[in-house]
Amino acid sequence: MALRIAIDTGGTFTDVIALDEETGDQFAIKTPSTPADPSLGLLAGIDEVLDAAGAARTEIGQILHGTTTATNAVLEHKFEGLGLLVTEGFRHLIEIARQSVPDGYGNSFFWVKPRRLVPLHLVREAAGRMRHDGSELVPLDEESVVAAADELVALGVDRFAVCLLHAYANPAHENRVGTLLAERHPDIHVSLSSVVLPEYREYERAMTTLIDVMVKPYCKTYLGHAERSIRERSGAVPFLIMQSNGGIVTSAKAAEKPVTMLVSGPAGGVLGATHMARLADRRNVLTLDVGGTSTDVSLVRNLTPQLTSHATIENYPVKSPMLDIETVGTGGGSLAWIDDYGALKVGPRSAGADPGPICYRRGGTEPTVTDAGLALGRLPEALIGGGLKLDADAARAAYEELGRKLEIAPEEAAAGVLEIASANQVHGIRRVTTTRGLDPGDYAMVAFGGAGGLFAAEVADFLGIATAVVPPNPGNLSAFGLHVSDVKRDYVRTCVRQQSSHDPDELEALWSALEDAGRDEIAAEGVARGAIDLVRSADVRYVGEGHEVPVPIPPGTAGTDAVETMWRDFHRVHESTFGFHYEGRQDVEVVSLRVQAVGRVHRPEIRPLESGGGEAAPVANRRVYWRDGGWIDCGIWRRGDLGVGAALAGPAIVEEYGSTTVVPDSWQLTVDGYGNLILEKSS
């Protein structure tokens, strides 16, 4: 037996799915997370899933890990010990930031600048200067570096970010700083901006480098501990980490550059959803991952999750390639409340896991989204597969109270809360679609997470989406997604050249160098060279534009042909992104060259289900409330009873362990060959 074990560590729970590579059998468990040292929960999860599979520690073939721990470290503001070294003249770089005051006009009167990652007394300057073309203007003053480092270490700095001007064009000064620091202060952690993010825009690069070095000790420690324990118990088992870009790398690589792990956890969900979309024969989908406190949405085009490099965590920009995931502060545990002016609000405050919704009877007193689902009959009073018995009376009482305050019927209040929560999710989906120039109506939806099935049809209705897919085991799709990932690393080099004056051989040489680095690093992780794909792209703009568009270079285009293709295709990409182009009228410039190196690894095969056994009878009937239909008697189905090809018409409810799928009136449901529930709007 060879088990692949995937562990998705969240803030509260750790989900584990083991997959038997020979039989295709899956085993899933859930165990509490251990934020102080996430390796403890991780190791416990491995043992628990081995128990469930009846396997020994020596039967593990591979371990995959996705995590939100890096993000949580940032959110918990663990800033102590950070120091920053910048170019002479730029000490106030992060105090100034981009001079932005968020949101509204006149906010500069009252807005208070948030705390910086590094207080100013822990920022030092180094003399020396590079030009934007990578040539050296002033040599590095090594004495100023050493003096700065000594002072900062004396002040308690143990994590050191280095961001020198134009280091993306020539890292020589930063490399030298790295060497000096390693010699003089071997115990401190250092991140160089030219390694973390070799792209122009000094503020964003400095911030990304700071975030990287900030989470480095934490990630290094717990990943190292996990790796050692795994080796002791199970031998030389590959231990691979999901990165924000949707690819996996070895834990050692991940710990070197932990900024690439920031949305590791949600990335697993997107990959899982992409995989199920492929099986369900949908190439363009929106993913909707509805958890307890928030909802993650993202866009998948042509079975490719979309990347962004403009993410922020709280107010802090992080420009590392990551899946374009938008988080909305509404989930199953979100609270419904009335503001001082009588307006009904949902979230962003949440009852969380503790105390949880009122119906959990763990001390929650404010009505949540989950309580609304229960009060309306959309969620069951007892969860299938045992576990919690929910207190529907308490949920109804809470909505009696809310409705009384709003002077509307209690069920209207509860249904309204679900509709507002859906609308909040819709706003998030618009941020990844219409704000990118895309129409969500052109996409299908894959809904998962514990409450994905509760919202799928209602959110789809808002957006004109005609099809929603609820995959099997929607509660642990993020862990499942770890099983279907490739090894992936991104390489970038900023190099601003104009089409009218560029040297194609120079650009080609830079691109080839990135490819060589990618090929070598992926091969070093044990991937056969024949299974490595190198995908080129470039960030290009018209001269004078402040922002670039990514231009993909088709596979197989190499040499200066690739450079030619980049110039030519840019106009087409600009047209499809922005709706216009200036081909032949304006000069074009490339800003950054990129290579994504992908090592294709063995993926477990997800086998189709046995067909037949399709039709089933409802296990019960229940009155369910709908805003457009009132109380209607609805059939309640067990998901496990619905075989391949089963079909039913809404209104109906499908229940399974840990999740419930709502099929409203005017929607119908079928089950496809892989067990996906396919919800379709009746025409």
Partner 1 sequence: MSKPRKEARQLGPVELEIITGTIRSAELEIEAAVERTSRSPMIRDQHDYRVALFDARGRKLTGRSYSALVEPVFEYFGEDDIHPGDVFFWNDPYNSSGGIGHIPDLCSTLPIFHEGRLIGFSQVFGHHDDVGGSVPGSLPVHAEDMWTEGLVIPPIKLYERGKVNEAAFRIVERNSRLSEHLRGDLDAEIGAAMLGSRRVVALAERYGADTLEAAFDAMIENCAEAIRRELLPRIADGVYAWEDYVENDGVDAPRLHAMRVTMTKTADRILLDFTGTDREAKGPINWAIDYSDGKFVRKWMGPVLRSLASSPERAAEIDMNEGVLDVIDVKFPEKGTLVTPNFGKATGMRFFILLRSLGIFAALLSKATGGQMPADHETIRIWGLHGGASNRDFFLFREVLGGGGPGRPWADGSDVVHIVPNSRNLPAEFSETRYPVMVEKLGLARDSGGAGFRRGGFGYDKRIRTLQSCRLLSNADRALVNTYGVNGGRPGSTYSIAVEDGGGELRDIAGMADNIEVPEGATVRIRTTGGGGWGDPLLREPDLVAYDVECGLVSEDSAAEEYGVVLNMAGTRPEVDEAATDTRRMELRAKRGALPMFDRGPYVEAARAAGRLDWPEGWQDPDAGWWAETAAEAAE
Residues 6+ apart with CB under 8 A from 125: 85, 86, 87, 88, 89, 90, 91, 144, 148
Kindly state the smallest distance separating residue 41's Cβ from partner 1, in Å: 34
Q: Indicate the SS3 state at residue 607.
A: coil
Which window, 258-266, 340-348, 361-369, 644-652, contacts partner 1 (CB under 8 A)? 340-348
Selected from 585, 605, 612, 683, the binder of partner 1 by CB under 8 A is 585
Kindly state the smallest distance separating residue 23's Cβ from partner 1, in Å: 47
Range 152-191, binding partner 1 (CB under 8 A): 154-155, 165-166, 168
For 326, half-sphere exposure in the C-beta direction (CA atoms, 13 angstrom radius) is 21
Using the minimum distance from each CB to partner 1, give the nearer residue, 70 or 140.
Answer: 140
Which window, 263-271, 285-293, 391-399, 428-436, contacts partner 1 (CB under 8 A)? 428-436
Which window, 179-187, 239-247, 423-431, 517-525, contacts partner 1 (CB under 8 A)? 423-431
Kindly state the smallest distance separating residue 432's Cβ from partner 1, in Å: 11
Kindly state the smallest distance separating residue 135's Cβ from partner 1, in Å: 12
What whole-number distance in Å separates Cα of residue 190 and Cα of residue 148?
Answer: 14
Other Cβ atoms within 10 Å of 378 Cβ, number: 25
Q: Is 120 in the site for partner 1 (CB under 8 A)?
A: yes
Selected from 57, 132, 301, 681, the binder of partner 1 by CB under 8 A is 132
Using the minimum distance from each CB to partner 1, give the nearer residue, 462 or 657.
Answer: 462
Phi, psi of 163 (to 5 degrees): -135, 100
Contact 435, 475 (CB under 8 A): no
Range 245-284, binding partner 1 (CB under 8 A): none
Which window, 199-207, 262-270, 358-366, 483-491, contacts partner 1 (CB under 8 A)? 199-207
* β partners of residue 335: 368
Kindly state the smallest distance separating residue 430's Cβ from partner 1, in Å: 6
* β partners of residue 662: 653
Which window, 170-178, 275-283, 351-359, 418-426, contacts partner 1 (CB under 8 A)? 418-426
Which window, 6-14, 244-252, 288-296, 338-346, contacts partner 1 (CB under 8 A)? 338-346
Range 139-158, binding partner 1 (CB under 8 A): 151, 154-155
Q: Is 501 in the site for partner 1 (CB under 8 A)?
A: no
Kindly state the smallest distance separating residue 577's Cβ from partner 1, in Å: 8
Kindly state the smallest distance separating residue 415's Cβ from partner 1, in Å: 8
Kindly state the smallest distance separating residue 585's Cβ from partner 1, in Å: 8
Using the minimum distance from each CB to partner 1, give the nearer residue, 193 or 596.
Answer: 193
Range 24-63, binding partner 1 (CB under 8 A): none
**400's torsion region: left (phi>0), alpha (psi -120 to 50) or beta?**
alpha
Nearest to 115 by CA among 82, 69, 67: 82
What whole-number distance in Å separates Cα of residue 209 and Cα of residue 168?
Answer: 13
Kindly state the smallest distance separating residue 378's Cβ from partner 1, in Å: 16
Range 587-646, binding partner 1 (CB under 8 A): 627-631
Using the minimum distance from each CB to partner 1, give the nearer residue, 101 or 647.
Answer: 101
Q: Is 436 in the site for partner 1 (CB under 8 A)?
A: yes
How many residues of this chain interact with partner 1, rule: CB under 8 A? 83
Largest Cα separation within the chain, whole Å, is 80
Selected from 22, 23, 109, 186, the binder of partner 1 by CB under 8 A is 109
Kindly state the smallest distance separating residue 97's Cβ from partner 1, in Å: 8
Q: Is 342 in the site for partner 1 (CB under 8 A)?
A: yes
Kindly state the smallest distance separating residue 631's Cβ from partner 1, in Å: 6
Q: Which residue has the tokens 């576990």?
A: 387
Contact 653, 378 (CB under 8 A): yes
Q: Is 202 in the site for partner 1 (CB under 8 A)?
A: yes
* Relative orientation angle of helices 504-524 and 559-578, to the nearest 10 degrees: 90
Range 505-524, binding partner 1 (CB under 8 A): none
Contact 538, 504 (CB under 8 A): no
Burial 564-592 (b: 16+ CB within 10 A, else e): ebbbebbbebbeeeeeebeeeeeebbbbb
Q: Is 104 in the site for partner 1 (CB under 8 A)?
A: yes
* Relative orientation angle of helices 452-463 and 410-432, to the nearest 10 degrees: 70
Other Cβ atoms within 10 Å of 676 Cβ, number: 22
What whole-number distance in Å separates Cα of residue 588 and Cα of residue 571?
Answer: 9
Contact 2, 59 (CB under 8 A): yes
Burial class (CB in 10 A: 0-12, 13-18, 19+), 230: buried
Centroid of chain to Cα 470: 19
Kindly state the smallest distance separating residue 197's Cβ from partner 1, in Å: 12
Nearest to 286 by CA among 159, 473, 419, 467: 467
For the chain, give the number of residues.
683
Which window, 236-244, 430-438, 502-510, 595-603, contacts partner 1 (CB under 8 A)? 430-438
Contact 20, 1 (CB under 8 A): yes
Q: Is 419 in the site for partner 1 (CB under 8 A)?
A: yes
Kindly state the smallest distance separating residue 495's Cβ from partner 1, in Å: 10
| Interaction pattern, residues 558-577, with partner 1; x per rule: CB under 8 A | -------------------x
| Residue 76 amino acid letter | E
Q: Which residue has the tokens 């102590």?
A: 80
What whole-number distance in Å separates Cα of residue 465 and Cα of residue 441?
Answer: 5
Using the minimum distance from each CB to partner 1, give the nearer residue, 437 or 559.
Answer: 437
| Interaction pattern, residues 378-417, with partner 1; x per rule: CB under 8 A | ----------------------------x-xx-xx--xx-
Provide the edge-to-edge strand list for the sheet that holds 532-542: 26-32, 13-20, 3-9, 60-67, 239-242, 247-250, 486-498, 588-599, 532-542, 549-552
Contact 24, 18 (CB under 8 A): no
Using the minimum distance from each CB to partner 1, give the nearer residue, 168 or 674.
Answer: 168
What whole-number distance in Å separates Cα of residue 421 and Cα of residue 455?
Answer: 9
Which window, 10-18, 38-46, 470-478, 541-549, contacts partner 1 (CB under 8 A)? 541-549
What whole-number distance in Å separates Cα of residue 47 and Cα of residue 141?
Answer: 54
Selected from 186, 580, 605, 612, the binder of partner 1 by CB under 8 A is 580
Using the minimum distance from each CB to partner 1, give the nearer residue, 104 or 612.
Answer: 104
Selected from 443, 448, 491, 542, the binder of partner 1 by CB under 8 A is 542
Please state the three-class secondary structure of 537-581 as a single string: EEEEEECCCCCCEEEECCCCCCHHHHHHHHHHHHHHHHHHHHCCC
Q: Is 313 in the site for partner 1 (CB under 8 A)?
A: no
Range 68-97, binding partner 1 (CB under 8 A): 89-93, 95-96
Q: Which two tokens stand for residue 654?
A: 């499908």
Which window, 180-188, 270-278, 339-347, 654-662, contacts partner 1 (CB under 8 A)? 339-347
Selected from 228, 281, 315, 582, the binder of partner 1 by CB under 8 A is 582
Range 203-222, binding partner 1 (CB under 8 A): 203-204
Kindly state the smallest distance separating residue 122's Cβ from partner 1, in Å: 10
Selected from 13, 200, 480, 491, the binder of partner 1 by CB under 8 A is 200
Other Cβ atoms within 10 Å of 253 Cβ, number: 18
Cis peptide before 139 (omega within 30 of 0): no
